[in-house]
A and B are shown apart, each in its own frame.
Chain A
Amino acid sequence: MESGGKAREEEQDGMSVHSPCKAPPSSASSLPKEQSQVELELRLLEALEIYPPIKLQGIHRHFVLFGLMEFLRRSFNRQFSSDEVLQLLDRFYNLEVLKPDDEDIEVLNREEDFSLPQSFFVKEES
């Protein structure tokens, strides 16, 4: 259980082998361009604290993506398209390997009838 745990965990997290952590040695001579990339990646990782990548695989995907777009938009004061965010994420995660959150699945596996909240039947005074 313990011994195999690490590997399995990494797999579940969908960590990419091509993680930018293993940047080629040449990057030591950093150019301004790379600096901005580092900034971008740092911000993205920050955003992922709020918007966990696992949520990108469930029904909430689009709202999580919206959250990430907004986070980056505010951080860098420019628009980020959803594709751009996804490409950025791709540097760190293999999203396809991620399994949807159990909770997300659970939300939708119990069938119930729609019921209009009582407050709708209260006549509004105007």
Chain B
Amino acid sequence: MGNSSKDDSLTDGDASSGDAPPSKTSLYTEGEKVLAYHGPRIYEAKVQKAELMKKEWKFFVHYLGWNKSWDEWVGADRLMKLTEENVLKQQELDKKQGVDKNVKSGRSAHTRPKSSADVKAEKEDTKTNVVKTKKRKTESVAEKEGASSEKSVKIQIPSTLRKQLVDDWDFVNQQDKLVKLPRSPTVDEILSKYLDYRSKKENTTSDSLAEILKGIRCYFDKALPVMLLYKKERKQFQDVVLDDMSPSNIYGAEHLLRLFVKLPELLAYVSIEEETLTRLQQKLTDFLKFLQKNQSTFFLSTYDSIKGVEGKGKGKDD
């Protein structure tokens, strides 16, 4: 590449003379969610910082759901916009390659980051199998743990609850339906039912379990509006949840279960010793089993159509 400017000082005035002048505004902004290549895989990541270094934009990224120790500076060639189109490409790849449970490549086995040319080629031709399937968080967490000593919480969601999540997705996104609020039992009620159930079983009240349940409730209240709602549910949230109400007192098992999908991502921000993490995992898993056991009473079997929920619109059906 021709080095047009002999001057190394970072005056942005001479950018115009370069053959590939870096734009003064970066392609990715701080806080933006992106797709990031790391070795042969693509991960969801978040740009924490963007800086112009030696005339090149560098981005400090955090891989969502991964321990902070993986955070790193990368060039723009490692990143892709988090657009529907790009996600779709990934998903195509996912489907094409299936979820290969045998792939055991951790970070240590990864090759060097690709050159921008490689990345471009891959981006354009997703049909080649150069890019390995992107693994979803929970699976990749498990994998990485095998490959290195990196720890992050693993949460195995029982299969009937996984199905529940798919149905939930279907109701809202495919059938335009919503969970009728307020729910019964609410998240708060479910959590205290569980605490009761455990206390009776063990004949003692476990302070550590109580703390975890408080933690779940706190996450739920904070996370619901920012990461647990499908787009179509936002209006309902605004209508139903007024200023000083806690979502955990209005929403129920349907949304609580979604929190468990996001839990590894949230817990990655806390450093936890391995032993404690194992205990935490056990407790979370046990709670999921409890949800599963009570699936028919905790979860709705049908949702209301959006028109019905929103009130006296033109009643299309029902």
Contact = CB atoms under 8 A, between A and B. Distances in A.
Secondary structure at the B interface, as helix, strand, loop or mixed, is helix
A63 B280 contact: yes
B169 A116 contact: yes
Number of chain A interface residues as a range: 35 or more
A66 B215 contact: yes
A13 B214 CA distance: 25
Contacts of B226: 108-112
Contacts of B231: 113
A27 to B, nearest CB: 30
Nearest to A122: B99
Contacts of A61: 215, 218
A10 to B, nearest CB: 24
Nearest to B91: A118
Given A60-B269, A62-B218, A66-B276, A113 B208 contact: no
Nearest to A113: B231
A116 B228 CA distance: 10
A99 interface: no
B279 A70 contact: yes
B229 A113 contact: yes
B159 interface: yes
Contacts of B258: 114, 116
A62 B276 contact: no
A24 to B, nearest CB: 32
- Centre residue among B139, B211, B226, B230 by max chain A CB count within 10 A: B211
Contact of A81 (B135, B207, B214, B273): B207
Contacts of A62: 211-212, 214-215, 218
Interface string A95-123: 00000000110111111111011111110
Interface of A: 50-51, 55, 59-67, 69-71, 73-74, 79-82, 103-104, 106-114, 116-122, 124, 126
